[in-house]
Each structure stands twice: as structure tokens, then as C-alpha cells.
Amino acid sequence: MKLNVLKHNYDILMQKQIEDLKFRPKILLHSCCGPCSSTCIERLKQNFDVTVFYYNPNIYPQNEFTKRLENQKKVTAYFGDVEIISPTYLEDEYLQEIKGLEGEKEGGKRCEKCFYLRLKKTAQYAKDNGYDFFGTTLTVSSHKDEQKINAIGEEISSQIGIKFLYSDFKKHDGYKRSIELSKQLGLYRQNYCGCRFSIRRDV
């Protein structure tokens, strides 16, 4: 996968997409975890009907996946009218996708493959089930490169034929707001990104 990464202000591009809306669309929002999704859902609910797609086969071990899922459900319950879809946990899907890149540094090619896997699954489900957009919470984290993530989303959008919502949810104090909501809801905040390879760096 060779990314065409161009410098853009993705927050401004998202605002333009929202301004151009002619109706209230349905968005399938890939979510990495409850804390990150909290501020994204709060913002998107103003203009979209939001469904959370908790697809994260990268998370290791399985009890960590389950713990994060439980906290994701706390967030969707808090917002009331937000559904959650969680495909079956299969770490092999992730391990197959990043085969040969196990030794890559965090933020490198292994992570790009991981983003691609999760966003492609989200886009395909969104296309097959009548959503108008797909998007992701990944850009709320200061540890994630929003330029790469949006470039991947744009590429998948073109491949599958469904609109991708650009984002840089770090803007407007998005990360700070996620911490506030996490404290308010008593959410578990993990101390590593998710995969078995990120543990050795973060824990």
C-alpha cells in the first residue's frame, strides 16, 4: 500500500462536508475505544445519525478487547440513541494483515496496515447496509497521524464507493473533552494503543 499523503486541514474539510449536507445522513463511525469515541459522538450527533462500529481485531489480549468494548457500551448508552455494532473478535485477521511488519516501529507501516484493515471493514459494512458516510475516531489521539488516517480513508472511499467523513477530532480541544467525558462516565482509559506489539513500547 503506497499512500498519497498530502498536507490538509481535515477539520476545515469536515466542516465543508457538513455545510454541504442536504439532509441528516447516517454515519458508521469506526471506534477504537469508548474514551476516544465520546467526544467524536458528541460532536457528530449535531448533524448525523451515528452508529458505532467497534471493529478492532488488533487489540490484545482478548480480555482487553472485551474490557474496551464494555466501556464503549457505556458511551453509547450515555448518548441514548447511538447504536453499536461489534463484529466477532478475531486477532488472526489483524495478524494476517500485518504479516512481515511485526518489528516495525509504532506509527510506521504496521500501523498504516492496521488503520487500513479497520477502515476498509467499516466502509464495506457501511456500503452494504445503507449508510451515507463512514468515519473514524482515530484522529482524536495525539499519538495518531491524522494525515495518514484521512489519506487511507479517502483511498478506501474511492475503492468501495461510499463517502468518507474527513476529521481531525483533536481540534477544538477534542482530546481534552474526551478526558472530561471519561471522568464523568467513569471510563477505563487504556495505557497502550492496543496490539501485542504496542505493549512493549507503552507499558
Q: Which of 111, 167, 112 is nearest to 134 (CA)?
A: 167
pLDDT tens-digit series, residues 47-82: 999 999 999 999 999 999 999 999 999 999 999 999
- The type of residue at 90 is L
Spans of all domains in the chain: 10-202
**pTM of the complete model:** 0.96
C-alpha cell at 34: 469508548
Under a CB-based contact definition with an 8 Å cutoff, are residues 165 and 135 in contact?
yes
Under a CB-based contact definition with an 8 Å cutoff, are residues 160 and 124 in contact?
yes
Q: Which of 6, 17, 38 is nearest to 185 (CA)?
A: 38
pLDDT of residue 3: 66
Taking CA 185 as the corner, what is the angle to CA 181 and CA 188, rounded to the nearest 5 degrees? 95
Q: Tell which CATH architecture fits domain 10-202.
A: 3-Layer(aba) Sandwich (3.40)
